[in-house]
């Protein structure tokens, strides 16, 4: 097995024993990045010098007989909307070019405490607004499986880095599917945690009530390992759950003969592409042959979940992005007056998709429209949660396609906002409901992977990780580097 294919669990164990030099391993990962970046563009910032310095520190600690931690020496890619002290944090936008946070996000602090090596900040849709990683001001990321296709978004750089072997673990953020979408399209595993289980401190906000930081990996054990490091209460995050902790970060030993799976009919039929649905059903039949009970269920509110999600997300985005005006940090355009400077900064600093969502969000929050749009969307959100929890009271997990279509070609969807937004139809219900969801590889369509998404009850991460492990055993799809 090549070093870039090695699971994080094995890398950390070998580094801790002194059987593998962290410097040698990290050097190989960085070399892999340098060979693939001109084609893939997974990173906005590669941290070669910092990563090698950190690896040297870990080797010295091992030499002194110290234990660097559960992620000893492991190369981790961090999405570029998560703060790493002193490292440019652009969110894929011109308007934050040059901004270097003076602090670490809580999840980054926890990575460093466990001996991780951060090798770079990954490319993303601007301010996490997109499903293809094409709206980035730093160019699109390409899918390592098929360079003519997108890797999904908005955490596309993290998924692409894993698939290309230029990282062993990665962090993404998920507001409406931004971890699960790239996981599906890059043949990786991605977990959106229960809302509040992972600290959002240090995450540049898009839509506060929906988003979560989560782990991405090439196999379930690595996914669980990374999750175990980042999960837990944080007093600096007012949305952090007080009872979240280590009990969420284990792989439950799931007996397939006792597993009841509810297949959401609306997420395996139209508008889901028949080829994608076929791969999802193929995986489910394998689970069925292992003893699982598979029943079809209906989630009629799926059709209303998508518009409700975008109303809530855009309204929160318009408020959050009001802070970027050129007066405090990031890009500043010249202007004769303060007002001219702000207008020019925002005009030149934001991309077209971000501007569209700010304008729509501002319209939604106008007096006279809040009740008509925003309040109605919140009512739909509550109804979606009630409906999903009702289904989960009769089934252990719910499943459907992660994405309704195979990975699009570059430019195929990004220019039409309606086509772009409908890509999220299967993933947004979990964000609206605040429940955990995991995407696992299901098969290959058009030269790139497609995924199946399993949703579980609140705090049901151990169960989802156990189901993910069953899927991994059923398909044999793990540790794929292309």
Question: CA 124, CA 133: separation in Å to the nearest integer?
Answer: 5
Q: Is the pLDDT of residue 203 over 80?
A: yes
Q: At what angle do helices 8-17 and 48-63 cross, to 10 degrees?
A: 50
Sorting pLDDT into bands at 50, 70 and 90, what band is 46?
very high
For residues 92-110, average pLDDT: 97
Query: 366: how many CB neighbours lie within 10 A of its CB?
Result: 11
Positive/negative CA dihedral, 350, 356, 360, 361: negative
For residues 403-419, average pLDDT: 94
Q: Is the pLDDT of residue 288 over 80?
A: yes
Tens of pLDDT, residues 235-269: 999 999 987 676 677 899 999 999 999 999 999 99
Tens of pLDDT, residues 220-230: 999 999 999 99
Nearest to 133 by CA among 161, 106, 107: 161
Tens of pLDDT, residues 324-362: 999 988 999 999 999 999 999 999 999 999 999 999 999
Residues linked to residue 198 through DSSP beta bridges, in sequence order = 231
Is 79 designated active site? yes
Q: Is the pLDDT of residue 385 over 70?
A: yes
Place of tokens 């996000």: 105
290 three-class SS: coil
The class (CATH top level) of 3-257+435-475 is alpha beta
448 three-class SS: strand
- pLDDT value of position 244: 67
Positive/negative CA dihedral, 178, 180, 181, 185: positive
Contact in structure between 161 and 77 (CB atoms under 8 Å) = yes
Nearest to 125 by CA among 280, 346, 351: 351
Q: C-alpha distances in angstroms, 19 versus 10, 13, 59, 72, 331? A: 11, 9, 11, 12, 46
Percentage, residues of the chain above pLDDT 90? 95
Q: C-alpha distances in angstroms, 445 versus 164, 227, 305, 408? A: 18, 29, 27, 11
Sketch the domain layout of the chain as residue ranges: 3-257+435-475
- pLDDT value of position 368: 83
Percentage, residues of the chain above pLDDT 70? 99
Q: Is the pLDDT of residue 219 over 70?
A: yes
Of the residues 131, 136, 154, 166, only one is catalytic, namely 154
Question: CA 388, CA 457: separation in Å to the nearest integer?
Answer: 9
- pLDDT value of position 243: 78
Q: Is the pLDDT of residue 119 over 70?
A: yes
Tens of pLDDT, residues 166-189: 999 999 999 999 999 999 999 999
For residues 404-429, average pLDDT: 95
Question: CA 158, CA 137: separation in Å to the nearest integer?
Answer: 16
Tens of pLDDT, residues 133-166: 999 999 999 999 999 999 999 999 999 999 999 9
| Strands 117-122 and 75-79, sheet pairing | parallel
Of the residues 93, 158, 178, 318, only one is catalytic, namely 178
Mean pLDDT of the chain: 96
Question: CA 195, CA 203: separation in Å to the nearest integer?
Answer: 14
* Integer Rg of the chain from CA: 21
Q: C-alpha distances in angstroms, 148 versus 39, 40, 261, 409? A: 10, 10, 35, 6
């Amino acid at each position: 097995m090549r070093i870039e294919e090695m699971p994080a669990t094995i890398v950390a164990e070998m580094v801790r024993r002194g059987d593998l030099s962290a410097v040698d391993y990290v050097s190989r990962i960085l070399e892999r990045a340098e060979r693939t970046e001109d084609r893939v563009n997974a990173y906005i910032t590669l941290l070669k010098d910092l990563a090698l310095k950190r690896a040297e520190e870990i080797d010295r600690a091992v030499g002194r007989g110290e234990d660097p931690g559960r992620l000893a020496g492991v190369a981790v890619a961090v999405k570029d909307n998560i703060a790493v002290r002193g490292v440019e944090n652009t969110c894929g936008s011109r308007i934050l070019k040059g901004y270097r946070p003076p602090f670490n996000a809580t999840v980054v602090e926890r990575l460093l405490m466990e001996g991780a090596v951060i090798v770079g900040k990954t490319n993303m849709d601007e301010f996490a607004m997109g499903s293809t990683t094409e709206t980035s001001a730093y160019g699109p990321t390409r899918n390592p499986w098929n360079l003519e296709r997108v890797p999904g978004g908005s955490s596309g750089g993290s998924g692409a880095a894993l698939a290309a072997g230029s990282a062993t673990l990665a962090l993404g953020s998920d507001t409406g599917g931004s971890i699960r979408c790239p996981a599906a399209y890059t043949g990786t595993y991605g977990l959106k945690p229960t809302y509040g289980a992972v600290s959002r401190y240090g995450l540049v906000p898009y839509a506060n009530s929906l988003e979560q930081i989560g782990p991405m990996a090439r196999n379930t054990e690595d996914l669980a390992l990374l999750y175990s490091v980042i999960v837990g209460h944080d007093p600096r995050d007012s949305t952090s759950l007080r009872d979240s902790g280590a009990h969420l970060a284990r792989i439950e030993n799931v007996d397939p003969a006792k597993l009841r799976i509810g297949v959401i009919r609306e997420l395996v039929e139209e508008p889901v592409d028949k080829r994608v649905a076929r791969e999802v059903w193929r995986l489910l039949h394998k689970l069925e042959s292992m003893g699982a009970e598979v029943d079809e269920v209906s989630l009629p509110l799926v059709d209303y979940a998508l518009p409700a999600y975008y109303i809530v997300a855009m309204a929160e985005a318009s408020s959050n992005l009001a802070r970027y005006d050129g007066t405090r940090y990031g890009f500043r355009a010249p202007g004769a007056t303060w007002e001219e400077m702000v207008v020019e900064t925002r005009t030149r600093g934001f991309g077209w998709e971000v501007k569209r969502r700010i304008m729509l969000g501002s319209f939604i929050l106008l007096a006279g429209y809040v009740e008509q749009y925003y309040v109605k969307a919140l009512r739909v959100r509550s109804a979606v949660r009630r409906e999903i929890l009702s289904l989960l009271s009769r089934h252990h997990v719910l499943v459907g396609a992660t994405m309704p279509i195979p990975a699009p070609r570059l430019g195929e969807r990004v220019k039409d906002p309606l086509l772009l937004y409908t890509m999220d139809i299967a993933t947004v219900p979990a964000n609206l409901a605040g429940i955990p969801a995991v995407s696992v590889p299901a098969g290959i369509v058009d030269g790139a992977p497609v995924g199946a998404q399993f949703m579980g009850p609140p705090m049901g991460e151990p169960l989802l990780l156990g189901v993910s492990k069953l899927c991994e055993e059923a398909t044999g799809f793990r540790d794929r580097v292309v």
